[in-house]
Amino acid sequence: MKALVYGGPGLKDWKEVPNPKLEKPTDVIIKVETTTICGTDLHILKGDVPAVTVGRILGHEGVGTITEVGSSVSNFKVGDRVIISCIKSCGACINCKNGLYSHCLGEEGVSGLGWVLGHLIDGTQAEYVRIPYADNSLHKMPVGTTDIEAVMLSDILPTGFEMGIQYGAVKPGDVVAVIGTGPVGLAAIVTASLYGAARVIAIDLDTNRLEKSREFGATDTVVSGQDKWKEEVMAMTDGAGVDVAIEAVGVPLTFEMATQIVRPGGHVANVGVHGKPVSLELQNLWIQNISISMGLVNTNTTPLLLKLVVGKKIRAEKFATHFFTFDQFIDAYETFGRAAETKALKVVITSK
């Protein structure tokens, strides 16, 4: 088969590799029909995720058809079309029982991390992929749901909702600021209304993405590159600051921005994947009673979000802006990597 293989920082190749095989009774093999590229993949290519070794097949999002099933798999069969979760879950360890799938220990009790696809094991940017703990790591494709809608449920929608809205403790009437209106930031914006946010302020350097953010539910936009961006945000809150500031970029500057605009007693929710240390001004933040949350998505809200997508309450297809086939994988990366120029949100890559 062919797959997108990591060759070290800045290096990738779409090339022939061996087909995956069942390794444990809980595994399935899936023929990948639709996948996409995540900002995390770009972080990997920059060398920000050292656990990803040379030769790893990238990708942790996808939709496809099961072609082989391990002997212990009971919820799925060959021929089922499924959504692949970016987080695997054994369903049996203490963390999974507590809903903390992001820190699944595995039935062996040793792994300690739910994000393995395209990270610690080969991922979904390939013609076939092995999925461990299939019974708890896949979702059946509902009738009438498109691949484009479904692939957004692999990662970005649960990430934006869980790590931005839920971990940010958004409540009815809150003013929420989202710094970074890439796909995950937009996912936070589109799900903020589920918890009753009264106002959602989108902040970004990219005016195109700010325009798009209004389609996803932003009530206000602020260009962060200009000198008075902070004054603009504060003016929208009568000088008090926002209730929740969501950082959805993953660089030190945007985290610092979030801490500057949150009100006393407010919440900073870090969603971005950081590759460098961030300065934490505790000497100023502690006296403001600021709460800070961060972490890896658990994907335990995927069933809920899937219902909302099926019911057209969330228009997941709007995230898709560019379309490619597998033989155009390198072009897809180039387009996604130059999003400011290409106006790309999510690139959708299909097997045919």
Question: Domain ranges in the chain?
Answer: 2-155+299-350, 159-294
Nearest alpha-carbon partner for 300 in 152, 116, 159, 132: 159
pLDDT band at 335 (very low <50, low <70, confident <90, very high): very high
pLDDT band at 109 (very low <50, low <70, confident <90, very high): low
CATH number of 2-155+299-350: 3.90.180.10
Percent of the chain with pLDDT over 70: 99
N- to C-terminal Cα distance for the chain?
A: 14
Q: What does the pLDDT average to over 209-216?
A: 96
Enumerate the β-bridge partners of residue 347.
322
225-242 pLDDT, tens digit each? 888 999 999 999 999 999
Whose tokens are 């590799």? That residue is: 17
Domain formed by 159-294, architecture: 3-Layer(aba) Sandwich (3.40)
Q: What does the pLDDT average to over 191-203?
A: 98
Instruction: Supply the angle between the helices 252-261 and 229-236 in degrees, to the nearest 10.
Output: 40
Reduced to 3 states, what is the DSSP secondary structure of residue 3?
A: strand
What's residue 215's pLDDT?
Answer: 96
Helix (H) or strand (E) holding 303: helix 302-310
Quick check: pTM over 0.85? yes
pLDDT band at 110 (very low <50, low <70, confident <90, very high): low
Is the distance from CB of 302 to CB of 85 less than 8 angstroms? Answer: yes
Q: Inform me whether the pLDDT recorded for 107 exceeds 80.
A: no
Tokens of 59: 């990708």
Spatial CB neighbours of 36, under 8 Å, sequence gap ≥ 6: 61, 62, 151, 154, 346, 347, 348, 349
Q: Inform me whether the pLDDT recorded for 111 exceeds 90.
A: no
